[in-house]
Chain A
């Protein structure tokens, strides 16, 4: 019986919940919004059973703020939302970037702009995840196409948030979020967990909350602990105190960008499907990748050398990996459910941007293998 217990048949949103619990989630604040609501519903049941806290706040903004507050007391924290709520959270996400507070924001994407289509799929928030908040900053955004990967990438999101003291965006979408499929919950210890890096300084030693160690990491001290310090969204010095000294400002902005961009190799996550000899490469992510993989398998049965590069980290954008993997491809098709947000990045990354094509859909329907095939055949010069 123990064997079957570990196998679950769940929605993607619940796979995300399981991943978060596995990663050690202590605190969730949220506001219901389709299609992410199941994350809040399940956590309202799961967290208190583990002694954790769940709070339904008055709005999306408050939810984002509450998790930042809770993170400062030493908790692993998360919120979940969709398009309109993601827009509302942006200012506080910027605060978390600036004040370097670890937190995870799941955005189960739906159609937009505005209310768009709450119950239908989209991948239209790629650029908002990157540039939704104002000012220069860097961000980590991850995604996944099936429930096992959602589980693992959620664990990863928490690990990266702790490692780099930064908000991490989990870009899911309605199709994977609502779909049900198999999830095997790993044993404790099977996946690595990064815990909060806390300062080892004694209580009478000056603690500089914003003085990076040599490896660039900043040990934290829990609010309520021995070290009292200031946290602010203003430019600040190593004490966390507001400063507009140009040198301090310059170093701070470099730090919050470099700590992510310089570690792109550790952050980048992707999967290769039949890439070794691929003449045509489909680049995709999230639920679109399922259709891309399906098409590649269908065409391979007919002898066509099609491969799929499935992105699991979108930001920082894995340009180098894409350039390298696509170097020998006759053409690259970006398969996504928006008007080409990742395609623009791919065109900028590869040597021959003219050989990059977009196979997309943005009408609320999950893109089908047939949709991709139609474009592929044109690119192959075989007509529709």
Chain B
């Protein structure tokens, strides 16, 4: 596997961009890989569809945009409608049934995981939803060691909130690990 290309999309405030930064940072700082992260700036970041592109690679990354992602994680219907068509044929689309109703025509493996429901029933705080999604993504794809992501969380998050974030991540990880997707070609 040369490079894995991911796109996260959702709405401003869901934390998709933070999740992307944490993932890419875990790749660079705790996994010895290269990664780039770019995002849509401006009005989109304050409502509307937010999109962020991540590339993780063992080698040098040149063009940082993602045209056909191996993995698309999309967390609102609007974002799904806007971005589901770009996924690489045979790629993975990860959604949450709480927010997204998937369409059959998408030529990819579509996985609907009840991440929001897990977070709300087990923790009750929507603020850690994005971390749960990240856990699920790692669980399904195993693109990084879970510890690398946890290390980033420990580094970035205020002490009082670390436990809650770890729990959210683990919830996602357990949920995602029941499935497997490893086709990064």
Contact = CB atoms under 8 A, between A and B. Distances in A.
Interface of A: 4, 7-9, 34-35, 118-120, 174-175, 178-182, 290-291, 293-294, 297, 366, 368-370
A370 B42 CA distance: 26
Contacts of A7: 28-29
Given A9-B25, A181-B36, A182-B34, A119 B41 contact: yes
B63 A181 contact: no
Interface residues of B, number: 20
A291 B63 contact: yes
Contact of B63 (A119, A180, A368): A368
A377 B65 CA distance: 22
22 contacts: A4-B30, A7-B28, A9-B21, A9-B28, A9-B29, A9-B35, A34-B41, A178-B41, A180-B25, A180-B36, A180-B37, A181-B35, A181-B36, A181-B37, A182-B34, A290-B63, A291-B63, A297-B62, A366-B65, A368-B63, A369-B62, A369-B63
B41 A35 contact: yes
A360 to B, nearest CB: 16
Contacts of A35: 41
A178 B39 CA distance: 8
A35 B40 CA distance: 12
Given A4-B30, A9-B29, A182-B34, A293 B65 contact: no
B24 interface: yes
Contacts of A175: 38, 64
B65 A119 contact: no
B67 interface: yes
B29 A4 contact: yes
Nearest to A4: B29
| Nearest 6 Cβ contacts at the A-B interface | A119-B42, A294-B62, A119-B41, A294-B63, A9-B25, A180-B37
A278 to B, nearest CB: 17
Nearest to A178: B41
